[in-house]
Amino acid sequence: MRNKNKTKTERQSETMSAGAKTNWGLWMVMLAAMVLYAITIGFDFVLDDEIMTRNNKLVNKGIAGIREIFGHGTLYGFNGMDDQSYRPLMLTVFAIEKSFFGGTAGAYHFFNVVYYALACGAFYVFLQKALGRESLIPLLGALLFVAHPIHTEVVANIKSRDEILSFLFVALSLVYLLIYVQDGTKSRHLVISLVCYLAATLAKETGLAMLGLIPLTLWFFTRQKAERIAGITALYLAPVALYFLMRNSAMDNMFFSSDIKDLVNNTLSGASNDGEWFASRTMILGRYLGLLLFPHPLSFDYSYNQVPLVGPADPGFILALMAYTALAVLFFWGLAKKKVFAYAIGFYVVMLILVSNFLTPIGATMAERFLFSASAGFCLALAWALSALTDRFQWSRNTLYGLAGVILLLYAVKTFTRSQVWATQLELFESGLITAPNSARAQNHYGSYWRMQAESNPNPQDKRRAESFEKSIIYYQKALDIYPGYSEAQYNLGVSYLALNKLEEAKTAFENTLKIDSTYQGALNNVAVIAFRKNDYTTALNYWNRLLSFNPKNFDALYNCGAVYFNTNQPQKALEYFQRALAVNPGHQGCVQNIQKVKAALGSAGG
């Protein structure tokens, strides 16, 4: 209780002391985050990093591209499509970094670490605001969050900047919400909170889940009545509405697609009945909880068939169901008493629900990055448990610090060693062979690494080039052994065979690709290329025309059709296709030269 008899000078001195204590803790948390992940600054681009950065034409425009970024989907700058996610804030930050720092991998990694440190600091400030400066739980919870190994993917993978930014703005929004309610209800603090919430959604769609944290936070950490809590929460529907308006203006679809049929990415799409559907999703939630409790082994990939479907009799499902039932009981028991552990459970569930595959199927079976925001709830619960045990058994502060220090040391060692596999594409893909041996995609990725190594070798006589193609074939076959219906692996297998001039093997692989996906453009084109090499122009034209029937602007098909017609002495048709190809790719010199040849042939014939 505040002592009203203290002088103004004494109260000011206490305030300054508390401020210094806050700053010390904040700087400690942020510095720990920077030091722990400093090694990642020297890492290269891996996985989808380049899609979001140097292979994204809008990001490469730098600051000048920001307006376009907000007007399109996330992948528009890479593939011209507006049909998936809408994360303009992430791309905007990348664009700014491109303008000022050149868009190098080192610069992007540096700012990943900086934003991670800021996110950890914001989480610490939120916990202090919620639990008070005198509690040890905020510092413990924030340090556990800094060091938890489940975060290595998010910090070491440039593309996962969306996760970091979204959580940063979620934490800031909650901070300003509490300031608004606790410290004088100044409207500017509420406005800042609302803007931060909007920023969280524009960084990544999962930021929308924060709406569920508003009433929880107000209930647990303020004395607001239910009516007031409902009224404040309703205000946060405005940023939600604005987000969807912005998304609708930029995207081909306003809402998120629930028609996820790609078994490779999301094994759950293969569930044959409701029992398998529910059991498998619950089992995965159990795996998430297991990774938080014991973060080993960690993997960059959990796709088909690393996490197989299970039925209601599976032990993993039963254990997960029991665990989450226990969490539900604890949550509702602690809800009325406003227990910290109950809030931590609520935080965990709210921030996990949108990526759990329960509300709507998503584009992945599971992923460590999906636990990033939710893990804050776990870290808060763990910090509370350490504090509660200290009080229960009357341990000394040194005992508490020693126990927390052991956990933090184990976390830090695992984080440091795990983060290093993200240094290069090769190291990451090699790690996947160990941590995800049953993943078709992990095998395919490793095969593609060696295929691209071979393709980058300009000397066709170099034995290492052929050896790399042969190595890629081994791993594409392993991917197909796991999932025979994997069209990408089947296609890649054909590409490697074609590069080795094994035409029959390549043709078989491409035909198998088309049996899986009859519209696979690369396979249609390459089957036609093989027929063209054999002077089977009729077959070649058949496949290229099939391709053009659903993609009339496919440059390769148009260009190659022109070559067929020229070789079969049909210059007028050849001219038509070369001109169509040039319209798609105006700067293509081969097209220009071929048009000149055809016109010369037509002129000669006319003469």
* 493 falls within a domain: no
CB 192 within 8 A of CB 176: yes
Task: Determine, yes or no, domain membership for 264.
Answer: yes
Give the model's pLDDT for residue 395. 92
Phi, psi of 175 (to 5 degrees): -60, -50
Query: Does 516 reside within a domain?
Result: no
> How does pLDDT run across 30-51, given as a tens digit for each residue?
999 999 999 999 999 999 999 9
Residue 215 preceded by cis peptide, ω within 30: no
Residues 6+ apart with CB under 8 A from 205: 85, 86, 87, 256, 354
The residue-averaged pLDDT of 296-310 equals: 97
Residue 22: predicted pLDDT = 47
**pLDDT tens digits for range 441-477:** 999 999 999 999 999 998 988 999 999 999 999 999 9
Q: Does the pLDDT at position 604 exceed 80?
A: no
SS3 labels along 533-588: HCCCHHHHHHHHHHHHHHCCCCHHHHHHHHHHHHHCCCHHHHHHHHHHHHHHCCCC
Q: What percent of the chain has pLDDT over 90?
A: 88
Kindly state whether residue 1 falls inside one of the protein's structural domains.
Answer: no
Q: Tell me, what's the pLDDT at 1?
A: 37
Peptide bond into 305 cis (omega under 30): yes
pLDDT for res 266: 93
CA distance linking residue 120 with residue 168, whole number of Å: 8
Residue 607 has pLDDT above 90, yes or no: no
* pLDDT surpassing 70 at residue 16: no
Please state whether 103 falls in left (phi above 0), alpha (psi between -120 and 50) or beta. Answer: left
**Residue 196 included in any domain:** yes
Domain membership of residue 540 (yes or no) is no
Is residue 535 one of the residues assigned to a domain? no
Asked if residue 504 lies in contact with residue 510, where contact means CB atoms within 8 angstroms, the answer is no
pLDDT tens digit sequence for 103-154? 999 999 999 999 999 999 999 999 999 999 888 999 999 999 999 999 999 9
294 DSSP assignment = S
Q: pTM surpassing 0.75?
A: yes
- What is the extent of the structural domain holding 280? 24-420
Rounded average pLDDT over 567-581: 94
Per-residue pLDDT averaged across 150-161, rounded?
Answer: 98
Tell me the one-letter amino acid at 190.
L
Number of domains in the chain: 1
Predicted confidence at residue 15, as pLDDT, reads 41
- For 167, counting Cβ atoms within 10 Å of its Cβ (0-12 exposed, 13-18 middle, 19+ buried), the class is buried
Residues 6+ apart with CB under 8 A from 29: 117, 120, 121, 124, 139, 142, 143, 146
Confirm whether 228 is domain-assigned: yes
Task: Kindly tell me if the per-residue pLDDT of 208 is higher than 90.
Answer: yes
Give dist(CA 252, CA 72) in Å, integer: 9
Instruction: Identify the pLDDT of residue 255.
Output: 56
